[in-house]
Chains A and B, each alone.
Chain A
Amino acid sequence: MEYNVAKYPEGYEKIKKEELPFLPDDEDTREFFMNDLLQWLIQW
Chain B
Amino acid sequence: MNTEELRKERIQLFKDAIQMGKKPQRIPYFGNIWSWKIIDAGYKLSEALYDYEVTEKVLRHVFENYKIDVLSETGWRNPVQVTSVMGNDEYIINDTANSISIKDQCFMEADEYDELIDNPKKFLWEKVVPRKYRLLREEENNSGHFREFLQKYGEFGGFMGKVSKVMNEEYGIPDFADSLAAFDYWGNGYELLFNILRGIKGLSIDMRRDPEKVSAAIEALDETFMAPRLERGKKQPKGTNMDFCVDMNPVMLGHTILSPKQFERFYWPHLKRVSDFAESYDKVVYIFAEGESSRFYEFFQEFPKGHFAIHTEQDDIFELKKRVPNIAVAGGMKSSLLGKGTPQECVDYAKKLIDELGADGGYIFSENKMISFEQDCKAENLKAVSDFVSEYNPY
Binding site for B on A (CB under 8 A): 2-9, 11-12, 14-15, 19-20, 22, 32, 35, 37-44
Contact = CB atoms under 8 A, between A and B. Distances in A.
A43 B186 contact: yes
A16 to B, nearest CB: 11
B66 interface: no
A13 to B, nearest CB: 11
A11 B186 CA distance: 24
Contacts, number: 74
Interface stretch (B34-42, B56-64, B124-132): B124-132
B187 A6 contact: no
B122 A2 contact: no
A4 B186 contact: no
Question: Ordered nearest first, which 8 A-B pairs have the shortest CB separation?
Answer: A2-B141, A8-B122, A8-B125, A5-B146, A6-B130, A6-B136, A43-B186, A8-B126
Contacts of B137: 6
Contact of A19 (B83, B140, B146, B186): B146
Interface residues of B, number: 39
Contacts of B197: 42
A10 to B, nearest CB: 10
Contacts of B196: 42-43
A41 B140 contact: no
A15 B121 contact: no
A8 B121 CA distance: 8
Contact of B143 (A3, A9, A40): A3
A44 B144 CA distance: 20
A6 B125 contact: yes
A32 B228 contact: yes
A44 B83 contact: yes
28 contacts: A2-B144, A3-B141, A4-B142, A5-B136, A5-B143, A5-B145, A5-B146, A6-B126, A6-B129, A6-B136, A6-B137, A8-B121, A8-B125, A9-B122, A11-B125, A11-B143, A19-B150, A20-B150, A22-B154, A38-B121, A38-B124, A41-B132, A41-B133, A42-B107, A42-B124, A42-B128, A42-B129, A43-B192
B22 interface: no
B224 interface: yes
Contacts of B147: 19
B225 A35 contact: yes
A42 B144 CA distance: 19
Contacts of B132: 41-42
Contacts of B83: 44
A34 B64 CA distance: 37
A14 B154 CA distance: 18
Contact of A15 (B79, B107, B126, B146): B146
Contacts of B225: 35, 39
A2 to B, nearest CB: 4
